[in-house]
Chains A and B, each alone.
Chain A
Amino acid sequence: MSIAFQIVVCAGIVPDPLQTLEPVATETGPSLKNEMLLPAVLDPWASHALYEAANLARNQAGSKVWLVSLGQKAKLQQVLMTVAQKVPFELVALDGPASGFSESAEVAAVLAEAIRAIPGLDKSKLLVFGGWESASRGAGATMQMVGERLGIVNQFQGVDELKVAADGSLEILERIEGGKYQVSKCTGAPVVLGWATGNLPEPKNNPQIGMVNMRTVMPALQKAKPVELAGEGLSFASVTLPKQLRETKIVKDKSPDDIAKEIVEWIRK
C-alpha cells in the first residue's frame, strides 16, 4: 500500500549563478553589490530537492508538496513564474531577506515556524526537504536546525536518492567523506533530507502545471508574512571573493591533449 507523505521543501532564492557577484560592506553588514538588480533563481541545491519531492509525490498516491520560501516578495514572485511551470506545489511565502549573509539559526527558526503553521500537517507523514547547502552560502547548517526545531531526529545530508518501501520505511543514499556513499535505512517519516544533486533532470516547463500552481501562488504571495532577521550576535570579519585570473581563447584546431597541456602551463604561470 502506498504511503501518502506530506513533503515540505524549504527553498530560498539566490542570485542567478551566471551573475558577477561582488561583496560590499554596508551599515548593516556585508551585502552583494547591486543585489536587487541581479536576477534571482531558486537555490539550485533546493531545486533538486523540489524536483525529487514532486517525483516522490507523483509516485506515492495522496502525497502533497509544499514549498516554503523565504525571500524578498517581488523577487520571489518573479522566480516562481519560472519554477511554478515545472512541478506542482502549494506555496508558503515568507517576505524577508534571502541574503547569504543571514544567520542560519534565525532562518531555520523562521522556516520551522512556517512549517508548523501549515494547516493539517501530520508529523507522522512529514518529510522535510531542502538543499544540503545553499548557492549563496555553503554553511550546510540550516536544514539541520529546522529539523531540530521541529523535533525530527532522523536527518540525512548530501542525499542523492530516496527509496520508499511498501511498509513506508525509507532507504537513503547519502554522500559521505572520501567520495563514498552511505546507505541508511529508517522506519519512516518524519525525516529531514538535505539533498545534494539527486538524480533527476530539471523538469520541462508545463503551462498546465503553472496554471494550477498559480491558484495558490498569488494568494500566498499576497499574504506573505513579513520576516525580519535581527542578525544579533553575528559579525563577519571579512568577506572576499576568490581572486580570478581570466583569459579567454577560442581553440578549434587543437587536440584535447594539447589543450590540456596549454591549460596546465597556464595554471603553472
Chain B
Amino acid sequence: MNKQPQAERQRMEADIVCVGFGPATAGFLATLSTQLLNSDGTPVVESAVTPGLPPQVLCYERADDIGFGVSGVVTKARALRATFPDLDRAQIPMATPVDEEKVLYLLDPHGASRRSTTLCLADTFLRAFRWMLPFEQHALKLPWTPPFLHKHGGMVLSLGQFMQWVGTQVQSAGTVQIWPGTPASQVLIEKDTVVGIRLLDQGVDKGGNPSGGFTPGMDIHAALTVVGDGPVGSIGQQLDAHFDVPARHQKRDWAVGMKFVVDLPEGSPLKPGTVLHTFGYPEPEIFGFLYVHPDRVASLGIFVPSWFDSPVRTAYRYLQHWMLHPYLWRYLQGGKLRSWGAKTLSESGRRGEPHLVGNGFARIGEGSGSTNVLTGSGVDEAWATGAQLAEAVFELLQAKKPFSKQNLEDTYVRRRRASWVEREGRVAEKSRDGFQRGVVRGLIGMALAGMTNGQLTLGGEPVQPWKRIPSFENYYRDRTAPGEIVRLRDECETKGVPLHSVLMDRVGWPAIPFDGQLLVSHQDALLLGGKVQAPGGYADHVFFLHPELCQECGTKICIELCSGQAITPGENGVPNFDREKCVHCGACLWNCSQANPENPECMNVAFRAGTGGLHSAEN
C-alpha cells in the first residue's frame, strides 16, 4: 500500500459553493448574481466570510471549459425567458426559434432490427397502404402529435454555446466566479450537515496514489453547497449514498444520448427551426432527433435507453445506421461532422428525486429529478429549479437565516412544489412505465398519461438496470449459434475490441460506408468531433469495484456501450479503462450486468469525479 505523503491540504472559505455548471446552476447564478449588489456597487447582503463584501459565490465545473460536455436542445425556454425577459436570440450563436415539428415512425429498410410481432404487423400494414398515408422513404409522418410533445414557441439551441453566453452574462456582474477544469471529488459532511466540498487531488497516478507534484485537492467550506452536477455527478451520488433517497423513489431508468453536429450539404432544404423526432429505427427502442440551427447546421442523434433489453447497446454504430435511414440520409448525404458528444440522461424524472435539501445543501437540475420524462424536456426545468433556489437563497440571506434543512424546505422546496416543474413532473412521473414491457405499450402509456394529465398510465414497475441485460447467447439465440458467439468473443478479446460490431454484421446490419466526412470511425469521431483529451496527473475516474464479478461476466456491456471506446477488453476478463478517451457520458454507471453486492440499486462500475473529456463547445 502506498504511503500518503504529508502534503498539507489547504482550506478556503466561501459563502456558497456550487458543484457543476450546467443549466440548473446557470439558472441559479444568473438569478442570484444580479441581486447581490446595489446600483452603487455596495452589497445588498454581506458575506459571512469576507465582511463588507457581497457573499462569495464560487462554482466548480468538471469540464475543461464552461461550454464543454453539454448537449443540443429544443426547449420551450419558459424559465430562460423568465430570467432574461429581453432575451435576444441573436446574441446566442446557433439559436433559432422552433419553426416546424414532425414526429416520424421509421421502418427498417434492411430487416436487421428486432421488431415485435405487433410492430411487424404494423409495418406490413403501413407498407401495404402507404399510397394513402403520409409515407415516404420508409417513414411515416405522424399526422397528429399530442400537444405535450410540442415545443412551438420555443428555441433550438446549442447548449454549449448557450452556456458560454450565460457564463459571460453571469460573471460580468462580478459577484460570482465559475472555475472550469476543477472537479469536486468529495462532499464534506459533518454530523449530517454538508459543510462544503473537496476538490480533486492533482499529481496522482491512475489509482489516485500521490506521484510527482502531488497537490491535495483543496477543501472549500461554505454555508451552502449547491449540487447541480447532473445525473451521474460524483457529489450527487455521495449524497444519495449518505442520506439515501426518499421512500418509493429510485433511479432505475436511464438513457445515453449521442449526437453529431453537422454541416448540412449545400442546398439543404431543411429550414432553421425544423425539429424532427423519430422512433422505430434502428431498433424500436431507440429514439432519434434532428434540430436545424441557422447557417445550414444541424444537431442530430439518438437515445439508447436502459429498458432496451440488449447486450448490444452501441450508441455509436446505431447512430450511423440511424443517419443512413433513407428518410434522413437524403438530407445528410454530403454533410460534414463538426462536433460529436454523448451524455447520460436520468429518465426516472420525478420518481428519481433525491432529498432536495438538507442542512447545508440543496440539489437542483437533472440530478434532482427535475427532468420531465413525458415531454422530453430537461433544460428548462433544470434552469427553473436553479432560479427557484436562487430566490430562496436570497430570501434567507436577507433574513440572515441559516441554510438549514427546515429553512431550505420553507423557501426552495416550497417554491418548487408550487411551480409548473412539480405540476408537470407529477403528470409525467409514471408516463413511461409502459416501456418496461415493450415499446408499443410504452408509447400508448405515454399518450394516455399525456392526454389525461397523468390520471391514466400503463404500469410496469422499473427494475434495476442490471436485471435487464441479457447474455449474448440468449439475445442472439435465433440468429447465431452459441459456439459461434464464443469464437467471436475470443477473437475480439484477443484484438482488444468490442464484440457488437461483428455480431451486428452477422445478423444483417449493413457495413457503414465510411466517407471520412460524416460517416467516420468511432475513433475519428472522438478526435475530430469531440476533440477528446484528458490532462495528466489525475486518477482514473472509472473503476470496477469487484474485479471478480467482471471475470465472471459474459456480457461486459460496459465495453459494448462505452461512448468513447475508453473501456476495452482487459487481462483476466477485467476491462481496461483509458481515461484519455473518456467523454464522461457516465453510461458505464448503469450499463453493467453485475449488481453491486453492497447495494443492488447500484452496479459494479464506479463513476467518480474526473477531468478532461470533450473539448467541443458546439454540442
A19 B497 Cβ-Cβ under 8 A: no
**Residue A194 at the B interface, CB < 8 A?**
no
A77-B182 contact in complex given A39-B65, A39-B68, C-beta closer than 8 Å = no
CB distance from B183 to the nearest CB of A (A): 10
B523 A218 Cβ-Cβ under 8 A: no
**Residue B238 at the A interface, CB < 8 A?**
no
Most chain B CB neighbours (cut-off 10 Å) among A85, A204, A218:
A204
* A221 contacts across to B, CB distance below 8 A: 172
Q: What 1/0 flags go to B463-502 for Cβ under 8 Å of A?
A: 0000000000000000000000000000000111100000
**Residue B10 at the A interface, CB < 8 A?**
yes
* B68 contacts across to A, CB distance below 8 A: 39
**CA of A82 to CA of B64, assembled, Å:** 8
* A214 contacts across to B, CB distance below 8 A: 177
A222-B174 contact in complex given A19-B531, A37-B618, C-beta closer than 8 Å = yes
**CA of A208 to CA of B494, assembled, Å:** 48
**Residue A258 at the B interface, CB < 8 A?**
no
**Residue A36 at the B interface, CB < 8 A?**
yes
A204 B167 Cβ-Cβ under 8 A: no
B171 A218 Cβ-Cβ under 8 A: yes
Q: What 1/0 flags go to B518-529 for Cβ under 8 Å of A?
A: 000101100110
- Contact check: which of B65, B66, B213, B617 meets A204 at CB < 8 Å? B213
B177 A210 Cβ-Cβ under 8 A: yes
**CA of A66 to CA of B178, assembled, Å:** 22
**CA of A57 to CA of B490, assembled, Å:** 58
Most chain B CB neighbours (cut-off 10 Å) among A36, A77, A205, A214:
A205
B203 A204 Cβ-Cβ under 8 A: yes
Tally of contact residues, A, Cβ under 8 A? 34
**Residue B208 at the A interface, CB < 8 A?**
no
**Residue B543 at the A interface, CB < 8 A?**
no
B496 A252 Cβ-Cβ under 8 A: yes
**Residue A124 at the B interface, CB < 8 A?**
no
Interface residues on B, range: 35 or more
B527 A248 Cβ-Cβ under 8 A: yes
B615 A18 Cβ-Cβ under 8 A: yes
**Residue A62 at the B interface, CB < 8 A?**
no
**CA of A204 to CA of B174, assembled, Å:** 24
**CA of A221 to CA of B168, assembled, Å:** 11
B615 A208 Cβ-Cβ under 8 A: no
B202 A207 Cβ-Cβ under 8 A: no
**CA of A81 to CA of B179, assembled, Å:** 6
A250-B213 contact in complex given A82-B65, A214-B177, C-beta closer than 8 Å = no
A78-B202 contact in complex given A38-B617, A39-B68, A205-B182, C-beta closer than 8 Å = no
**Residue A234 at the B interface, CB < 8 A?**
no
* A248 contacts across to B, CB distance below 8 A: 521, 523-524, 527
Most chain A CB neighbours (cut-off 10 Å) among B68, B524, B537, B615:
B615
CB distance from B171 to the nearest CB of A (A): 6
B93 A36 Cβ-Cβ under 8 A: yes
**CA of A212 to CA of B167, assembled, Å:** 20
B174 A218 Cβ-Cβ under 8 A: yes
CB distance from A39 to the nearest CB of B (A): 5
Q: What 1/0 flags go to B156-184 for Cβ under 8 Å of A?
A: 00100100100110011010011111100
A207 B523 Cβ-Cβ under 8 A: no
* A34 contacts across to B, CB distance below 8 A: 618
* A38 contacts across to B, CB distance below 8 A: 617
**Residue A253 at the B interface, CB < 8 A?**
yes
CB distance from A265 to the nearest CB of B (A): 20
Closest B residue to A20 by beta carbon equals B528
Q: What 1/0 flags go to A1-45 for Cβ under 8 Å of B?
A: 000000000000000101110000000000000101111000000
**Residue B311 at the A interface, CB < 8 A?**
no
Which residues of A (242-256) have their CB < 8 Å from a CB of B? 246, 248, 250, 252-253
**Residue A178 at the B interface, CB < 8 A?**
no
**CA of A219 to CA of B171, assembled, Å:** 11
**Residue B220 at the A interface, CB < 8 A?**
yes
B524 A246 Cβ-Cβ under 8 A: yes
**Residue A74 at the B interface, CB < 8 A?**
yes
A253-B495 contact in complex given A207-B199, A214-B177, C-beta closer than 8 Å = yes
**Residue B605 at the A interface, CB < 8 A?**
no
B220 A207 Cβ-Cβ under 8 A: yes
Q: What 1/0 flags go to B56-76 for Cβ under 8 Å of A?
A: 001010001111100000000
**Residue A211 at the B interface, CB < 8 A?**
yes
**CA of A82 to CA of B179, assembled, Å:** 7
A253-B178 contact in complex given A39-B615, A78-B167, A208-B218, C-beta closer than 8 Å = no
Which residues of A (167-207) have their CB < 8 Å from a CB of B? 201-202, 204-207
A16-B179 contact in complex given A77-B172, A204-B213, C-beta closer than 8 Å = no
* A253 contacts across to B, CB distance below 8 A: 494-496
- Contact check: which of B12, B203, B338, B617 meets A207 at CB < 8 Å? B12
Which residues of B (111-140) have their CB < 8 Å from a CB of A? none
A85-B497 contact in complex given A19-B531, A39-B67, A207-B199, C-beta closer than 8 Å = no
4 cross-chain pairs, A with B, having the tightest CB-CB distances, nearest first: A18-B531, A252-B496, A248-B523, A204-B202
- Known: A222-B172, A250-B523; 18 extra A-B contacts, CB below 8 A, are A16-B65, A19-B616, A20-B528, A36-B93, A38-B617, A39-B164, A78-B164, A81-B180, A82-B181, A205-B179, A207-B58, A207-B60, A207-B179, A208-B10, A246-B516, A246-B528, A250-B496, A252-B496
| Residues of chain A at the chain B interface (Cβ within 8 Å) | 16, 18-20, 34, 36-39, 74, 77-78, 81-82, 85, 201-202, 204-208, 210-211, 214, 218-219, 221-222, 246, 248, 250, 252-253
| Residues of chain B at the chain A interface (Cβ within 8 Å) | 10, 12, 58, 60, 64-68, 93-94, 158, 161, 164, 167-168, 171-172, 174, 177-182, 199, 202-203, 213, 215, 218, 220, 338, 494-497, 516, 521, 523-524, 527-528, 531, 533, 535, 537, 565, 615-618
Question: Can you show 27 pairs from A to B with CB atoms below 8 A apart?
Answer: A16-B65, A18-B533, A19-B616, A34-B618, A36-B93, A37-B161, A37-B618, A39-B67, A77-B172, A81-B171, A81-B177, A82-B64, A82-B180, A82-B181, A85-B179, A85-B182, A204-B213, A204-B537, A207-B60, A208-B10, A210-B179, A211-B58, A211-B177, A248-B524, A248-B527, A250-B496, A253-B494
